[in-house]
Amino acid sequence: ETQILKKDQINQAVEFLRNGDLVAFPTETVYGLGAIATKEESVKNVYKAKGRPSDNPLIVTVSDENMMKRYAKFVPERAEKLIKHFWPGPLTLLLLVKEGSLPDAVTGGLKTAAFRCPNDELTHELISKLGYPIVGPSANTSTKPSPTTAEHVYHDLKGKISAIIDGGATEVGLESTIIDLSVETPIVLRPGQITPEELSEVLGEKVLINTGKVSDKAIPKAPGMKYRHYAPSAPVWVVDDVNDFEKIDFKSDTAVAALDSVLAKLNLPVENKFSLGKDLKDADHNLFSALRFFDDEDEIKTIYVQGFDEGEKSLAYMNRLNKAAAGHHFKK
């Protein structure tokens, strides 16, 4: 049985982890699935619980920079700058790893590890009390949208993990920005709330953006990127121009996820609509809930989701939505 733990039960979560068990934890982005990062057997069970391909490495979640220093080969000045400015927060740093300090199951056998210090009180307490970093892939079944509530985690992983720390709905709703600092020019491997422009400003230098085109044969820089992602069972279509919503041939099995202002103009029953809120920030927060909502409705056969074109601000949202839609865009 999977237990739901409240904020005064962190000690119990610490006990589970020390025993080698798996515990899901809240962060400001999405829920993560934790195991002590240095316990190889527990880490392997994280892959099993998620149904995740074993060559896709895991984020190392730390309580602060000092904990990270035990596992990073060294901390470049760029990392110091970004940590000062953005930690704790939704930014993951790819650094060279101290050889032998973490199991291959964590790094996928790479020379780097992805370090993240989330901005969440409960998780900070958890890792501090534990004294060890925990791995932190999103706590969903592989290929499903990342979980933004404890209920989402329970839906996917009940019976497979010991506990879920319930910290309520996550604030950001999309996973952290990942920046690779192990290479000559810093490069954003996964867009998130913190934009390349903001990173570039703090670093005082150019930051590249990975375009995400990875072939199956290549060793991808962020191995997760080659896998199917965020996909509900019904096909998803991105609607880039809101005027196109009126051209869709709506049937009872059609669903729409869009901003309130867009939904208000559509002649569709309420149960076929999912509100993404009032603006892009709300849409970031609600996207994964929307995809999950219609996933559980068997009668829904097509899901149309509003696209955004707000430059770097909408990069993360469009990255996740494009993957959910497998690149399908609606045009009439």
Q: Which residues are annotated as a binding site?
A: 29, 52, 56, 112, 116, 138, 146, 176, 190, 230
Residue written as tokens 């979980």? 147
Q: Beta strands 302-306 and 254-258: pairing type?
A: parallel
Identify whether the C-beta of residue 126 lies closer than 8 Å to the C-beta of residue 166. no
Beta strands in 152-242 (DSSP E): 163-165, 177-180, 187-190, 208-209, 236-239
193 binds Mg ion (CB under 5 A): no
45 binds, among Mg ion, ligand TXA, none (CB under 5 to 8 A by kind): none
Residue 45, both tokens: 């069970």
Q: Which residue lies nearer to ligand TXA by CB, 29 or 302?
A: 29
- Sole binder of ligand TXA in the list 136, 173, 191, 196 (CB under 6 A): 136
Q: Which of residues 307-326 bind ligand TXA (CB under 6 A)?
A: none
Binding site as annotated, residues for L-threonine: 29, 116, 176
Separation between Cα atoms, residue 198 and residue 312, nearest integer Å: 10
As measured in angstroms, the least distance from the Cβ of 282 to Mg ion is: 22
137 binds ligand TXA (CB under 6 A): yes
As measured in angstroms, the least distance from the Cβ of 251 to ligand TXA is: 34
32 binds ligand TXA (CB under 6 A): yes
29 binds Mg ion (CB under 5 A): no
- Sole binder of ligand TXA in the list 63, 176, 210, 314 (CB under 6 A): 176
**Sheet of 236-239, strand order:** 273-275, 254-258, 302-306, 236-239, 329-330
| Closest of 170, 118, 162 to residue 9, by C-alpha | 162
- Sole binder of ligand TXA in the list 38, 42, 63, 112 (CB under 6 A): 112
164 binds ligand TXA (CB under 6 A): no
- Sole binder of Mg ion in the list 27, 138, 195, 289 (CB under 5 A): 138
223 binds ligand TXA (CB under 6 A): yes
Strand, coil or helix: what is 15?
A: helix
Task: Kindly state the DSSP code that residue 236 receives in the 8-state scheme.
Answer: E
170 binds Mg ion (CB under 5 A): no
Q: Which amino acid is at 331?
A: K
